[in-house]
Amino acid sequence: MTDTIRLGKLEAARRQLSAAIRIIFQGGDPVVAHTLVGAASNILTDLVEQEVPHKSWDAFAQSANSLTPKAYFNLMRDAQNFLKHAKGDPDRELELNPTDTESLAFFAVMNLGEILNHRKLGQLSMEESVFQLWHIACYAPELEGADDPFKSALEVFGDLRGRARVEQLSAGKRALEEHA
| Residue pLDDT, tens place only, 36-75 | 999 999 999 999 999 999 999 999 988 989 999 899 888 8
Range scoring the smallest mean pLDDT among 115-124, 128-137, 149-158: 149-158
Which of 40, 14, 37, 8 shows the shortest CA–CA distance to 25? 37
Higher pLDDT, 96 or 152: 96
Q: pLDDT by residue (tens digit) across 11-30?
A: 999 999 999 999 999 999 99
pLDDT tier at 154, thresholds 50, 70, 90:
confident
SS (H, E, C) 104-151: HHHHHHHHHHHHHHHHCCCCCCHHHHHHHHHHHHHHCCCCCCCCCCHH
Q: For residue 125, give the amino acid letter.
A: S
Per-residue pLDDT at 115: 98
Give me the helix-helix angle, 57-64 and 30-51, nearest 10°. 100
pLDDT tier at 152, thresholds 50, 70, 90:
confident
Per-residue pLDDT at 146: 58
Q: Is the pLDDT of residue 160 over 90?
A: yes
Domain ranges (residues) in the chain:
9-178
Work out the number of other CB atoms within 10 angstroms of the CB of residue 69. Answer: 11
pLDDT tier at 147, thresholds 50, 70, 90:
low
